Structure 1
């Protein structure tokens, strides 16, 4: 388990600002791992806004401290932030990657990606009470309200993964491909997968084609 506890350039809980943030989130929370990780999960889910348009290929943008610093990110850095916070309090964590089909994405985002398949969706696995559990802190509460889905909860006892259906019964999220689990962020693997899936986002200059905005604004 040691490799799932150590800090890395991505799971960088040794950074002062991240240490300070973890301490602040745990203020008043009982010194019990289950209660602490539930508090950290909610903080990452709701206080770091989900925004796929901020995706960049630079390695530092995948780190926990970068997600914390910017206050908005997409699924992978948000998962890494939760995983780094977990490691800092002695809970092993590892990154999971999968491809998902989002039936409720905004037309603008689908037009940008030219697909309703989201490659390299990231979630985190946490080792609690003798077993690995999935946690998905990607979609913040405000965004979930706009999409008419319940925000994902994490009770520390069961897997927490994207809902298949909305509250009204519409198709929401479908997992279509599993890329496996990783002790650290496989940066080159992720970037290669995204480049292969969306080559139009990477012109000949090699720089990613950025698009300003947010999913909340698309849906609002």
Structure 2
């Protein structure tokens, strides 16, 4: 298998051969003629129809599977990136995942108290191969969340990078990219867990329990 070919094939979490993934991707792109139009349609659907939540399942690979997130209707950045990648592969667009550490300078006080930092290790986004180049696309924050929190929504024209804005609508520093971990064919679950243990200093299951408490409060 060539390097590019692997970005078209299903993988453990980017399960582009799942019937629900294939059906939804086909529905969203059936009237789109170009790769750019298809990519835009897929991006905006994932951005706004899968609610962003900071509650992250950490224990097993299946929790990150695109088809499971699609059925759940909510997820955090890595899960939403996997859905977009799965959609893209399902309609013949090369797709991979990219990971970076970011600082969210406008993190809520409640979330900061739980994380003890504004650093989000292994933030995930999607890369799509369009027009002979890899394009960075971040579908994490849904429009409703952005409007409620005065966050500049990420907009995608189908051909240029679309990542988090550095400042919010009021001009305050928001997102800062501080470390790059490169691209992957699939979600590197063990690698992420190791990084989270290092940065947050608590066991993965304990962190999940604390996030559940936040989500339910």
TM-score after normalising by structure 2 = 0.92
Is the Cα contact below 8 Å between 1:65 and 1:81 reproduced in 2? yes
- Which residue is equivalent to 1:132? 134
* Distance (Å, rounded) in 1 between the aligned partners of 2:214 and 2:43: 22
1:207 Cα deviation (Å)? Answer: 8.0
SS in 2 for 1:54: coil
SS in 2 for 1:84: helix
- Which residue is equivalent to 1:150? 152
Distance 1:17 1:84, change over 3 A: same
1:67 Cα deviation (Å)? Answer: 1.1
- Which residue is equivalent to 1:33? 35
Q: 2:107 aligns with which of 105, 108, 131?
A: 105
- Alignment partner of 1:64 is 2:58: no
* Distance (Å, rounded) in 2 between the aligned partners of 1:68 and 1:121: 19
- Alignment partner of 1:209 is 2:212: no
Give ranges in structure 2 of 5+ residues lacking alignment: none
1:144-189 deviation digits (Å, cap 9, x = unpaired): 1122122101112211111000121100100011111112221111
Q: 2:190 aligns with which of 184, 188, 191?
A: 188
SS in 2 for 1:196: helix
1:71-105 deviation digits (Å, cap 9, x = unpaired): 11000010011011111111111111001000111
1:212 Cα deviation (Å)? Answer: 3.0
Q: 2:83 aligns with which of 75, 81, 84?
A: 81
1:12 Cα deviation (Å)? Answer: 0.3
Is the Cα contact below 8 Å between 1:134 and 1:161 reproduced in 2? yes
* Distance (Å, rounded) in 2 between the aligned partners of 1:88 and 1:213: 36
Runs of 4+ in 1 over 4 A off after TM superposition: none
Is the Cα contact below 8 Å between 1:103 and 1:171 reproduced in 2? yes
1:131 Cα deviation (Å)? Answer: 0.5
SS in 1 for 2:176: strand
Give ranges in structure 1 of 5+ residues lacking alignment: none
Is the Cα contact below 8 Å between 2:138 and 2:154 reproduced in 1? yes
1:214 Cα deviation (Å)? Answer: 7.0
TM-score after normalising by structure 1 = 0.90
